[in-house]
Amino acid sequence: MAAATADSPDAVALEGVGRAYGERVALRDVTFTLPAGATVAVFGANGAGKTTLLRILAMLLRPHAGVARVLGAALPREAWKARGQVGLLGHEPLLYRDLTARENLRYHARLHRVAPRRGDDLLERVGLAARADDPVRTLSRGMAQRAAICRTVLHDPSLLLLDEPLANLDPGGAAAVAPLIGRGSGHARVLISHDVEQGLAEADWVLGLRAGRQALWAPGDQVSAADVRGLYA
Amino acid sequence: MAAVSAVVRKDLRLEARAFESVPAMLMFSVTTFVLFHFGLDRGALAGDLAAGVLWVTLLLAAVLGMNRLFATEHEQGGFDGFLLAPVDRTALFVAKATVLFAFLVAAELIAVPAFALLLLEPGAGQALPELVAVLALADAGIAVVGTLVGALGVQTRARELMIPLLALPLLIPVIIGAAEATAPLFAAAGAEPLPGRWLAVLALYDAVFALLAYAVFDFLLED
């Protein structure tokens, strides 16, 4: 497991980061530092810039302003250093629907140079072993989400970028994936959630976004549910 | 190489399961040959005309493969999945060009004999070894340009329109070289020697576009 050490660089360090899509500014002047192994819960209404932030941290989008560092690598120039140490679980599972869960994980294992057996182990841990050889298109949304979580942690990333990771999961599924992506996983995490109480319970730090701007940055134990709900007003 | 192999294996597996590209390319080619067979109303074709019919048909069939080449990556998050991995981005270009080349070969394994059966004199198959050399060089050019254009076009809304509009003009040198190289093989008086000059033109085209594509493909994957 990618454990945090005293010598580890901060998982994320942003200073004045911004991003626009044409004329529309999606993210503006975001500044925060997330220590290795810590969790930041990101809150904000739809369109607040949460997904854009996640995609910048995943090195899938270039920041248009400011300085961004992920696991010590300056983006986008040094993105190659951090690529492969980040696990992204977004709205889409990033799985091929006509391949089975096992085939999808073997494909990603080859890309990440991970032993194929690792995927089989993960499928077993999330309770998908019995459906591992069924095409992903035949899985329920919850099962596909479990398979996507296996893909996310397949290469044991140091930083997890999670967008509503428990969406579509039943209580049993949520319990099964908790050791992989939960607080006890040891990974640094950027966690987007609309479940205020649960997000706060997981957070060492809280980031609030409103219309692309940073409206809140504070330690998790100093933020109340009411503070967070204010972001949605 | 591991990343190239992973993408190629994944794409071949997807094609074996979904049958989206090769059957479409094959059906299009054979149907077009049947249409030429009846539309031209001749006993058999020879020389320039036969070469032109073969290569225009194969090129248009290839466009169907180009249209689908990156569709799964675009629709099912394959681009993101690949870009998250610690691999050279040009591995995706090499893999996709290899896959398109394989699709072309698979379709031609049936389409070319069908062409010979429907539109050539009996016995024209003697030139098959020489024809294979032309097919290999032309397919390589189509695969390289098709991959480049496919990656560019898949980002646009009118993918089915943009890809042929971009690819076909770029592939005019391929169709000229391939048709000129093939025409002597289909001569009415019997197969003539393969013109090495046109093979060299095709090889040069392949090399130039492979280098060009290798240099710019990274930028096509940028946001």
Coil, helix or strand at residue B182: helix
Q: Is A78 exposed, middle or buried (0-12, 13-18, 19+ CB in 10 A)?
A: middle
Q: How far apart are CA B57 and CA B111, in angstroms?
A: 10
Coil, helix or strand at residue A126: coil
- Record the tokens describing residue B56, joined without a space: 């225009």
Coil, helix or strand at residue B193: coil
Residue B112: CB atoms within 10 A of its CB come to 19
- B125-143: average pLDDT: 91
- Cα nearest neighbour of B2 on chain A: A110
Query: Beta partners for A42?
Result: A192, A207
For strands A205-210 and A39-43, give the pairing.
parallel
- Record the tokens describing residue A34, joined without a space: 């997330």
Contact A111 B82 (CB under 8 A): yes
Per-residue pLDDT tens for A84-136?
Answer: 999 999 989 999 999 999 999 999 999 999 999 999 999 999 999 999 999 99
A102 part of contact set with chain B, CB < 8 Å: no
Q: How far apart are CA B130 and CA A37, in angstroms?
A: 63
Contact B10 A96 (CB under 8 A): yes
Contact B223 A83 (CB under 8 A): no
Confidence of residue B134 (pLDDT cuts 50, 70, 90): very high
- Record the tokens describing residue A103, joined without a space: 């085939």
- Record the tokens describing residue A150, joined without a space: 């296996």
Name the phi and psi angles at A6, rounded to 5: -60, -30
Nearest to B84 among A58, A99, A110 (CB): A58
A101 part of contact set with chain B, CB < 8 Å: no
Nearest to B17 among A88, A98, A111 (CB): A98
Please write down the HEC assignment for all residues of B40-107.
Answer: HCCCCCCHHHHHHHHHHHHHHHHHHHHHHHCHHHHHCCHHHHHHCCCCCCHHHHHHHHHHHHHHHHHH
Contact B3 A111 (CB under 8 A): yes
B13 part of contact set with chain A, CB < 8 Å: yes
Write the CA distances from B68 to A38, A165, B11, B157, integer angstroms: 42, 31, 11, 14
Nearest to B80 among A60, A62, A99 (CB): A60
B10 part of contact set with chain A, CB < 8 Å: yes
In angstroms, the separation between the Cα of residue B157 and the nearest Cα of chain A is 17
Contacts of A88 in chain B (CB under 8 A): 80, 84
- A155-160: average pLDDT: 96
> What is the pLDDT, as a whole number, of residue A7?
61
A62 part of contact set with chain B, CB < 8 Å: yes
ipTM for this model: 0.90
Single-letter amino acid, residue A39: T
Q: How far apart are CA B60 and CA B25, in angstroms?
A: 9
B6 part of contact set with chain A, CB < 8 Å: yes
How crowded is the C-beta side of B63, counted as CA atoms within 13 Å? 21
> What is the pLDDT, as a whole number, of residue A64?
95
Q: Which stretches of B154-223 are DSSP H helices?
A: 159-170, 172-182, 196-220
> What is the pLDDT, as a whole number, of residue B122?
81
Per-residue pLDDT tens for A137-149?
Answer: 999 999 999 999 9
Q: How far apart are CA A5 and CA A156, in angstroms?
A: 16
> What is the pLDDT, as a whole number, of residue A206?
96
Nearest to A94 among B18, B77, B86 (CB): B77
Q: How far apart are CA A42 and CA A49, in angstroms?
A: 10
Contacts of A110 in chain B (CB under 8 A): 2-3, 5-6
Contacts of B2 in chain A (CB under 8 A): 110-111, 113
**Kindly report the CA angle at B42 between B37 and B48, in degrees rounded to 5?**
85
Nearest to B76 among A60, A84, A96 (CB): A96
> What is the pLDDT, as a whole number, of residue A2?
44
Write the CA distances from B201 to B133, B134, B149, integer angstroms: 13, 11, 21
> What is the pLDDT, as a whole number, of residue B136?
97
Q: Is the pLDDT of residue A3 over 70?
A: no
| Chain-centre distance for alpha carbon B2 | 24
Coil, helix or strand at residue A65: strand
- A12-20: average pLDDT: 96
In this prediction the pTM is 0.91
Residue with tokens 């930041």: A40
- Which residues of chain A form beta strands (DSSP E)? 12-21, 24-34, 39-43, 65-70, 73-75, 86-89, 159-163, 188-192, 205-210, 213-219
Question: Do B127 and B185 meet the contact criterion of CB atoms below 8 Å apart?
Answer: yes
B223 part of contact set with chain A, CB < 8 Å: yes
Per-residue pLDDT tens for B116-129?
Answer: 999 988 877 778 88
Contact B86 A95 (CB under 8 A): no
Q: How far apart are CA A141 and CA A226, in angstroms?
A: 31
Which candidate, A62, A3, A53, A61, places its Cα nearest to that of A32? A53
Write the CA distances from A83 to A61, A77, A163, integer angstroms: 13, 12, 19
| Chain-centre distance for alpha carbon A141 | 18
Which candidate, A57, A62, A1, places its Cα nearest to that of A34? A57
- In B194-213, the residues whose Cβ lies within 8 Å of chain A are none
- A216-220: average pLDDT: 94
In angstroms, the separation between the Cα of residue A66 and the nearest Cα of chain B is 17
The CA-based diameter of chain B, rounded to the nearest angstrom, is 58
Contact A62 B5 (CB under 8 A): no
